[in-house]
Amino acid sequence: MSLLGEAEVAEELARTPGWKRSGKAIERLYRFRDFREAMVFVNWVAAIAERANHHPDVTIHYNEVTVSVWTHSDGGITPKDFSLARWIDAL
């Protein structure tokens, strides 16, 4: 899969609310009522990632979960990352 150019990343971010550029990745912060809800969300993200064979970086801080997505094999952002981001948002 080919890397997206800066203009393409900007277009995709405009179509993917809540996500932002962070270096060579896109990321989003999700907040939940408590740790348990955060962990349920993380487990759903893991299931989606396994199904897509595309695995995000996940950081958990009590009730906050940051999901960072980039295509490791290509070294940056590809259409696959925005597809996964939208699947995660659908949760």
**Is 34 part of any domain?**
yes
Q: What are the pLDDT digits (tens) for 5-51?
A: 999 999 999 999 999 999 999 999 999 999 999 999 999 999 999 99
Token code pair at residue 16: 């993917």
Please give the residue range of the domain that contains residue 85. Answer: 6-89
Query: Is the residue at 65 inside a domain?
Result: yes
48: CATH:
3.30.1360.20
18, 89 contact by CB (below 8 A) = yes
| CA 17 distance to own-chain centroid | 12
Give how many domains the chain has, as a whole number: 1
Task: State the pTM of this model.
Answer: 0.93
Q: Is residue 1 part of a domain?
A: no
Q: What is the pLDDT of residues 40-87, one digit of tens each?
A: 999 999 999 999 999 999 999 999 999 999 999 999 999 999 999 999
Task: Answer yes or no: is 21 within a domain.
Answer: yes
